[in-house]
Amino acid sequence: MKYKTKILVLNCGSSSLKFKVISFPEEIEIVSGEAEKVGVKSTTSSRIKMRIENDTYEIKENLPDHFSAFKTVVNYLQGKINFDIIGHRYVHPGNEKKHSLIINEESIRYLESTLHFAPLHNPVSFSMIKFSQEIFPDIPQYAVFDISFHNTIQPEFSTYALPLELSQKYNIKRYGFHGISHQYVMEEALKFLNVEKEKVKIISAHLGTGGSSLCAIKNGESIHNTMGFTPLEGLIMNTRSGDIDIGIVLYIMFLKKFTPDQMDNILNKQSGLAGIYKETSDLREIASRVNDDGRAEKAFDMYVRRIKKYIGFYFLILEGFNVLIFTDTLGVEVPLLREKICDEMDFLGIKLDKEKNKNSTDYCLKDISADGSKVKILVVPTNEELMIAREIYRGIK
């Protein structure tokens, strides 16, 4: 007889809180939902979309932080739904822990020492773990790590050109992020295409309202991720700069006499789309204004060009690729973004069917490739919560 259990998964993004209660071994979603625009400057209010069994809810209210979002969710769940285990997505556990941890006093002490590795995520997830322990002290909890999928990145791509003694002493290397999502959409794409992992080379584009990254996948393994030592590197994001000349950081700190915390705040919370386009950092809103607002057009174009740059790089290191996956909120909900990314990429084998693309926003797995496209272009809604719950269930059953 298979072990039966219900797992509540909490997935804290930098500006979102996704949550699900999943029954195992059937993998039935009893509850699912997301708090959006948590602590984000936007022209529209924060909201929580939630489904409990067959009933749906939408709550519009101010959500200044993740705790207020979680409290609202808990109030709706109490008395309606029970669960046996709580699973947390934890972004960056440092270099010592590569696999999931059960939460106890020892692991709490360890995780507390890793907050600096992902300043936008780890402190939120860590606080949520402690908060959940206070509310549900008798329910076992686990932390599942976002970087585990990228343990296969080889030294030639994970090593920074810094003095070796510094890199070794402080475990400085490319860790990569969004591993849970990249792994999930890869597995779903393989099932959809009915091919073995050894037969395809994949570029996975996880484009979220908070963080975004691309991943190059070969033989079912991550060989590169645009995020690096922290989730700051790589693509332009809603409040994060992505790649910039490190000399700029030193220059600003020198001119303004900024502390490291002040500079960190600028790079992680005031840059990216928020820095380029002041009114909103939500790319969906920016995309809706590109025809009438020159600054919106510029911000959108910068966002797209950074992605195209990495697709070109990944084409080289993969020596060609067969599948391009778009996932997460922006990857699914913004057809214009997918169209512009794929525009003038025929020479790489990318040929988009614009009509299929336009009609693929319904959170179903879709093939939006045009006839004759050498690269399969897929929209694959991610399900990090299911992947986290699977990881926990596989460990306890």
For residues 282 and 288, what is the distance between their CA atoms, to the nearest angstrom?
Answer: 10
In the structure encoding, which two tokens stand for residue 104, read together? 């106890």
Q: Is 55 a catalytic residue?
A: no
Of 389, 396, 387, nearest to 178 by C-alpha is 387
* Cβ–Cβ under 8 Å, residues 17 and 38: yes
- 184's enclosing H/E stretch is helix 179-193
For residues 232 and 274, what is the distance between their CA atoms, to the nearest angstrom?
Answer: 14
Going through the chain in order, the beta strands assigned E by DSSP cover 5-12, 17-24, 28-36, 47-52, 55-60, 85-90, 101-102, 141-145, 201-207, 212-218, 221-225, 323-327, 366-367, 376-379
Pairing of strands 47-52, 5-12: unpaired
Helix (H, G, I), strand (E, B) or coil at 125: helix
Residue 299 backbone dihedrals phi, psi, to 5 degrees: -65, -45
Which of 55, 84, 146, 343 is catalytic? The answer is: 146
Residue 273 backbone dihedrals phi, psi, to 5 degrees: -60, -35
DSSP character at residue 302: H
> Which residues carry out catalysis?
146
